[in-house]
Amino acid sequence: MKKILILSANPKNTNHLRLDEEVREIKNTLQLSPNRDEFQIITESAVRVDDLTRFLSHHQPTIVHFSGHGSGTDGLALEDNSGHVQLVSTQALAKLFDLFQEQVECVLLNACYSEAQATAIHQYIDCVVGMNQAIGDKAAIKFSAGFYIALADGRNYEDCFQMGCTSIDLQGIPESLTPAIKIRRRRYQTVQATNPVTSDKDDGMNNDNKGWQNRSVSIGGSVTGSAIQTGDSNTANINFQQVSLPAPASVNIETELNTLREILAKLESSDRRKIDNAFEDAQEELKKPQPDKTEVGKANELLTMPRKPKGLPLRWKNFSPTSLKLLLG
C-alpha cells in the first residue's frame, strides 16, 4: 500500500488558497478508483515547520504532497505558532528528505516557484515535482487531479506528471508548462507484480528523457598519474606511478563512467545512494543527442564526499578510472 501524506499550509498573512478543494479532488479521485485499496491518504493542515519531521517519522509516507505558497529560493511558506508565515529553507528541506530517502518515492510541491526546492530534494528522492513559476489555484488543482488519476490507474510517476500537465491543458489554462519534474530510473529497482508504480525500471518509458533533470558527473580534473599510500597511522609515503592518458578527443565518456562505477562499487560508503544518483544523472545527460559536457564535467561536486569511503586511504576526487584500478589492485 502506498501512503500519500498531504501537507497544506495557508498562513493568515498570505492570499487565500483553495487547498480544501485540492484535497477533496485527490481523495475523490482515489476513492473512485478500483485500486483504491492500494492507497492510504493522510492529510495534515496548517502545517508548522516543527511538524515536518514528526509527520514524516510518524506516517512513513511513500508520496509527500505539499500544497501552499512558495517563495522561490527563500523556501516554502509554513506556519508559526501564531498562524503566520514561517519559511523553511531549501537547504533544510533537502537535509530533511535525506533522512527519509529509503521510504519516500515521490515529493510533489504544489506551490509557486518551488522548482528550487524540487532540485535540492532530488539529490535524495528519485522523483520530485515543483513549479518553475507562479501557478494559479485552478491549474494547481487540475494538475493534482490528473496526477492522481494516473497514479490510481497504476501508471509510473512520469506518466502521472504528464497526465497532470495534460489536465491543465485540457481546461484551456495556459500553465501546463509550469510544473517541472526531476526524475531518475535505477537499474537495481524491480517491479512488483501487484504494484507496478513501485519502480520505473520496466515501465515502458521511452528514452527521450522528456522531463528529466540534467544533473552532473565527472571523473575529476587533469590527473596524469595514480597514487599508492603506504605507512602506518603516524607516517605515510606517497609513491606516484606515471601513466599515459589518451587524447581528450578519443575518450568515450560513457565508457569511462561505467569503468569508474564498477571500481567504486567495490568500496563501502554511507554515501552509496548519493554516488549512485550522480552516475544515473550523468548517464541520462550522455544519452542526449548533444550532451552538455559542462554538465557532465561537474561531477566532481557530487562524487567528492566530505567523508572518504572505507578502504580508500586518500581523497579520491582527482583519480581517473586508470588510477583507481591501480590503487585498488
pLDDT-based confidence at 205, cuts 50/70/90? very low
pLDDT above 60 for 192: no
- What average pLDDT does the chain have? 77
Percent of the chain with pLDDT over 70: 66
Greater model confidence, 280 or 54: 54
Greater confidence (261 vs 125) lies with: 125
**Does the pLDDT value for residue 76 go beyond 90?**
yes
**DSSP type of residue 40:** E
CA 155 to chain centre: 19
Poorest-pLDDT segment among 62-66, 275-279, 284-288, 308-312 = 308-312
Cell numbers for 121, please give them: 530534494
What pairing do the DSSP bridges indicate for beta strands 127-131 and 106-110? Answer: parallel
Is domain 2-198 given the CATH code 3.40.50.1460 in the classification? Answer: yes
pLDDT band at 320 (very low <50, low <70, confident <90, very high): low
According to DSSP H, which parts of the chain are helical?
19-31, 51-59, 90-98, 115-121, 137-152, 157-170, 253-264, 272-286, 293-296, 299-303, 321-328
Q: Which residue has the higher pLDDT, 78 or 311?
A: 78
Phi-psi region of 214 (alpha: psi -120 to 50; beta: other; left: phi over 0): beta
Residue 94: is it exposed, middle or buried by C-beta count within 10 angstroms (0-12/13-18/19+)?
A: middle
Q: What is the pLDDT of residues 147-184, one digit of tens each?
A: 999 999 999 999 999 999 999 999 999 999 999 999 98
pLDDT confidence tier of residue 241, bands split at 50, 70 and 90:
low
C-alpha cell at 95: 537535509
Indicate if the pLDDT at residue 283 is higher than 90. Answer: no
Instruction: Say which residue, 261 or 143, is predicted with more confidence.
Output: 143
Residues 6+ apart with CB under 8 A from 50: none
Categorise residue 116: left if φ over 0, alpha if ψ from -120 to 50, beta otherwise: alpha
How do the residues of the chain divide into helix, strand and coil, expressed in percent and rounded to 5?
Answer: 40, 20, 45
What cell does 327 get? 590503487
Cα gap 156→202, rounded to integer Å:
10
- With contact defined as beta carbons under 8 Å apart, do 123 and 277 qualify? yes
**Please, which residues have CB within 8 angstroms of residue 245's CB and are 6 or more apart in sequence?**
224, 320, 322
pTM of the model: 0.60
Is residue 210 very low, low, confident or very high in pLDDT (cuts 50, 70, 90)? very low
Lowest mean pLDDT among 118-122, 208-212, 308-312: 208-212
Gap between the Cα atoms of 24 and 89, Å rounded: 28
- Which has the minimum average pLDDT: 74-83, 87-96, 147-156, 233-242? 233-242
Q: Which of 140-144, 220-224, 227-231, 232-236 is modeled with the greatest confidence?
A: 140-144
Q: Hey, where are the domains in the chain?
A: 2-198, 225-328
